[in-house]
Amino acid sequence: MTHVELPQMPSFRLDGRHALVTGAGRGIGVAIATALAQQGAHVHLAARSLDEVAAVAAALRHDGQQASAVALDVTDVAAVRAAVAALPVLGVLVNNAGTNRAKPMAEVTEEDFDAVFALNVRALYVVTQAVTGRMLAAGTGGSVINISSQMGHVGGPNRTLYCGSKHAVEGITKALAIELAPRGIRVNSIAPTFIETAMTRPYFDIPGFKEQVLAKIALGRLGRVEDIMGALAYLASDASALVTGTSLVVDGGWTAQ
């Protein structure tokens, strides 16, 4: 009988790696930090409110994981550079901090525009620049994951700012993936549909809104934060070693139609 050499399944483990998650104090950010920690990474949870991320980090440590909290306003360029310089060289960065101001274009103010793009685009760019700069200097490679949205692939009413900012995230992801690939740094995005969190729940109290959303999701349900965790662990780990410059769309079929 001919001997068959079987391939080995790549590992999803992240033991020995340090990861930074922005916007890690609530909702999707907590799920992201948990997924990374449960795969063995030491996770640094960053948010403006230290109390929130400290509580999540404490819960992860209580569960036997490695986690620490960082008070950080990612829109403050100097603070970002100082915080990243104080951390160990990272193996994983997850740009999760983001915001939305949903309103008709005619009602959008300059302050609305600046606030959304400052956090969703500029801050993401600055954090990535700081983290990948250290990766490049150390020659270690790594994985950058940008939390985008299905709205980075399609349009939607009353969401010009959000859609515009998330389309920008997708463009940055692709361009940076090409630029950093020769140095072993992978850059990808995750593009979720509507995920049920404390931040999104008020939208579903608007009459008819939930029904409109569910009509677009082929699988017939809203997303849960747990739906992001597997995608995140995959893109962070060696299981996705040949994946860069792509968007993993976790949308229940929204953009397939």
Distances (CA, A) of 71 to 44, 83, 248: 10, 9, 29
Residue 19: φ, ψ to 5°: -130, 140
What's the rounded Cα separation, in Å, for the pair 190 and 147?
5
Catalytic sites, residue numbers: 162
Q: Locate 27 and state its tokens.
A: 């909702």
CA–CA separation, 41 and 92 (whole Å) = 9
Identity of the amino acid at 46 = A
One-letter amino acid of 180: L
Rounded to whole angstroms, the Cα distance separating 45 from 67 reads 7
Q: Give the pair of three-digit tokens for residue 37.
A: 């920690």
**Backbone phi, psi, residue 20, to 5°:** -115, 130
CA atoms within a 13 Å half-sphere pointing along the CA-CB vector of 65: 25
Structure tokens at 102: 């949903």
3-state DSSP call for residue 114?
helix
